[in-house]
């Protein structure tokens, strides 16, 4: 039987990761590349942190979904 709380929590994590997946590369291509050319790294670091957060929330959401379907192992 599926654990409904785990499934909902996993879907919430994935829904948080979705906008971050698009925001990180967008910030990089709009602000980060120009900042690298100018010699500043602030927007590049911010965009890389957003991309890392997207990966983190995606992995965490997938793990919770799988635990919700098949339980703890």
> What's residue 73's pLDDT?
54
Give me the domain span that covers residue 17. 10-70
Six token digits for residue 39:
């010699």
Q: Among 37-41, 60-64, 69-73, whose mean pLDDT is lowest?
A: 69-73
In a domain, 56, yes or no: yes
Is residue 3 assigned to a domain? no
Give the pLDDT band (50/70/90) at residue 29: very high
* Mean pLDDT for the stretch of residues 12-38: 93
Q: What is the domain count for the chain?
A: 1
In a domain, 65, yes or no: yes
Q: Which of 13, 50, 7, 9 is nearest to 28 (CA)?
A: 50
Residue 1 lies in a domain: no
> Does residue 27 lie in a domain region?
yes
- Please indicate, yes or no, if residue 18 is contained in any of the structural domains: yes
CA–CA separation, 55 and 27 (whole Å): 16
């Amino acid at each position: 039987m599926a654990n409904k709380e785990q499934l909902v929590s996993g879907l919430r994590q994935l829904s948080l990761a979705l906008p971050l997946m698009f925001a990180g590369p967008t910030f990089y291509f709009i602000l980060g590349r120009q900042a690298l050319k100018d010699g500043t790294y602030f927007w590049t670091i911010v965009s890389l942190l957003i991309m890392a957060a997207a990966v983190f929330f995606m992995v965490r959401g997938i793990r919770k979904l799988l635990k919700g379907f098949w339980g703890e192992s």
